[in-house]
Structure 1
Amino acid sequence: MIYIYNDYGGTHTTALAAAYHLKEITQSERKLTKEEILNVKYFNKLTKDDSGKIIFHGIDEHGDSVYTLGRKSSKLVVPALKNFSLLLQSKQHFQEKIIFSNTSPTVPFVMSIGGFLSRGLKIDSIGVPLLIMGAKQCCDNIFKLVEHTKRTGKSSNEENVIILENEIYK
C-alpha cells in the first residue's frame, strides 16, 4: 500500500502526518514540544521548488510506503494522480492500493500565517513561532486523521485508489 498525505505546501501538516504514521512521533495526553515539532523530517524545510514532488518519508510497520505532496492551490493534482495511478494499474497490472489523504482540514489559521511568513516571505523569526503554535493546536486532529487514513487503507474497500478529503476535520 502507498499513503500520500497532501496539502498546499507539503511541509507542515503533511510532515507531521507522515511522522505520526511512521511512529517517529507518538500521540499522548500532552501537546508536542517545540523540539519534537522542529525535529520532524521536512517540517518547514521545503521550498516552492518542491511543489508537486512526491516525497518519500519511509516504510511503516506493515511495510507500506508513506509519502507527502505539496500541491499548491491546484484542485486538479490529486484527481490527475488518481487517474494516472488507475491507468498504470490497468496497463501494467500494478495492483497496489494508493491512499491520497488531504491534511488541509487540520490546518489552523495561525499555521497558515506562520507558513506564509516563514516559507513565503522568509521571516522565520515571526513565522516559525506561529508554526509551532499551530502545530500544537492541530496535532490531535492530525493524529486522528492519520488513524482514519490507516483504517481506510486497511478496509476491504474494492477501490485501489482512494482520495480522502477529510472534511470531518474542518
Structure 2
Amino acid sequence: MLYIYNDFAGTHSTALAAAYHLEQLPQSERKLTKEEILNVQYFNKLTKKDFGKLLFHGIDKEGNSVYSIGRKRNKYAVPAMRELAVLFQEKFHINEKLIFSNTSPTVPLAMSLGGMFSRGLNIDVIGVPLLVLGSKQCCDNIYRLVKNTKHVANTSYNENVIILENEMYK
C-alpha cells in the first residue's frame, strides 16, 4: 500500500502527517512541543522547486510506503495521479493500493501565514513562530486524520485507489 499525504506546499501539515503515520511523533492527541515540530523531516524545509515532487518519508510498521506532495493550487494534481495509478494497475496488473489523503483542511491561519512568511518571503523570524503556533493548534486534528486515513485504507477492500478530502477536519 502507498500513502500519499498532500496539501498546498507539502512541507508543514503533510510532514507532520507522515511523521505521525510513521510513529516518529507521540501517538496521542497531546500538543506537540516546539522541538518535536521543528525536528520533523521536511518540516519547513522545502522550496518552490519541490512542488509536485513525491517525497518519500519511510516505511510504516505494516510495510507500507509513506509519501507526501505539495500540489499548490492545482486541483487536478491528485485526480491526475489517480488516473495514472488506475492506468498502471489495469495495464501492468499492479495491485498496489494507493491512498491520497488531503491534509489541507487541518491547516489553521497561523500555519498558512507562517508558511507564507517563512517559505514564500524567507522571513523566518516571523514565519517559524507562526508555524509552531499553527502546528500546535492543529496537531491533534492531523493525528486523527492519520488514524482515519489508516482505518479507511484497511477497511476499503473493493477500491485500489482512494482519495480522502478530509473535509471533516475544517
Q: TM-score range by the shorter chain?
A: over 0.9
Task: Give the deviation of 1:28 after TM superposition.
Answer: 3.4
User: Contact (CA 8 Å) 2:54, 2:67: kept in 1 or not?
Assistant: yes
Which residue number in structure 1 is paired with residue 133 of structure 2? 133
After TM superposition, list the pairs within 5 Å mapping 1:40-119 onto structure 2: 40-119=40-119
Task: Give the deviation of 1:157 after TM superposition.
Answer: 3.0
Q: Secondary structure at the match of 2:31?
A: coil
User: Contact (CA 8 Å) 1:27, 1:140: kept in 2 or not?
Assistant: no
User: Contact (CA 8 Å) 2:108, 2:134: kept in 1 or not?
Assistant: yes
Q: Secondary structure at the match of 1:56?
A: strand
Pairs aligned (count) = 170
- What TM-score does the superposition give when structure 2 sets the normalisation length? 0.98
- State the identity %: 67
Which residue number in structure 2 is paired with residue 168 of structure 1? 168
User: Contact (CA 8 Å) 2:7, 2:104: kept in 1 or not?
Assistant: yes
In 2, the alpha carbon distance for the partners of 1:4 and 1:28 equals 21
Moved over 6 A (4+): none
Which residue number in structure 1 is paired with residue 149 of structure 2? 149
For the aligned residues, what is the CA RMSD?
Answer: 0.8
Q: Which runs of 5+ in 1 are unaligned?
A: none
Which residue number in structure 1 is paired with residue 17 of structure 2? 17
Q: Which runs of 5+ in 2 are unaligned?
A: none
Q: Secondary structure at the match of 2:69?
A: strand
In 1, the alpha carbon distance for the partners of 2:52 and 2:26 equals 28
- Is 1:4 paired with 2:1? no
After superposition, the C-alpha distances for 1:29-66 in whole angstroms (9 at most, x for unaligned) are 63111000000000000001000000000000000000
Question: Structure 2 counterpart of 1:88, which letter?
Answer: F
Q: Secondary structure at the match of 1:149?
A: helix
After superposition, the C-alpha distances for 1:51-94 in whole angstroms (9 at most, x for unaligned) are 00000000000000000000000000000000000000001100
In 1, the alpha carbon distance for the partners of 2:156 and 2:124 equals 44
- What TM-score does the superposition give when structure 1 sets the normalisation length? 0.98
